[in-house]
Amino acid sequence: MSLSRLLVAALIGAALAPAAHAQRATNLHARTAGELADLCAASPRGGLGDAQVNYCHGFAQGAVDVMLHDAGEKKPFCFPSPTPTRTETLGQFVRWVRADSSHASLPAAGGLHQFLTERYPCNR
C-alpha cells in the first residue's frame, strides 16, 4: 500500500464532505494524527465544528477505503460485527492519539492505519 496514494485518496474524501452551511472559506488540513484527532474531537455545534467533523469523517472514510482496497484479501484490520459507528471509532482514535504523545506526530493516514490495526486486529 502506498502511503502517498492513501493520503491523496483521504484528502479527496475529505474534500467531498463540505459543511452544509459554511459561512466562510476555511483551510482545514490534517497532516498529522494529532491534527486529525483535533478535527475529530471538535464540537459540531457552532463555529467551524461542523466543517471540522465533516473533514474528519471524510478523511477517515477515504483512508479506510484505500487501505482495504489496497490490501486485497489480506485485510490490515477487521471490524467486529456489529460494526461500530464511524463516530464511535473516531472517538476511540482521538483517545488513542491523546493517550500517547508519540502518536500525535505520526502522519494522519499512517496514524489512523496504526490505530485501526491495533484496535481491530484480524484473527490470524
Q: The whole model's pTM is what?
A: 0.77
> What is the CA angle 78-83-86, rounded to 5?
100
Where do the structural domains in the chain lie, given as residue ranges?
Answer: 3-119
What CA–CA distance (Å, rounded) separates 52 from 39? 5
Helix and strand tally (H, E) in the chain?
A: 6, 0
Measured in degrees and rounded to the nearest 5, phi and psi for residue 28 equal -90, 145
* Residue keyed to cell 492513501: 6
Task: Return per-residue pLDDT of the chain as tens, 124 residues.
Answer: 565 665 555 556 555 555 444 455 567 889 999 999 999 999 888 778 889 999 999 999 999 999 999 998 899 999 999 999 999 999 999 999 999 999 999 999 999 999 999 999 997 5
What CA–CA distance (Å, rounded) separates 26 from 51? 8
Grid cell locating 86: 464511524
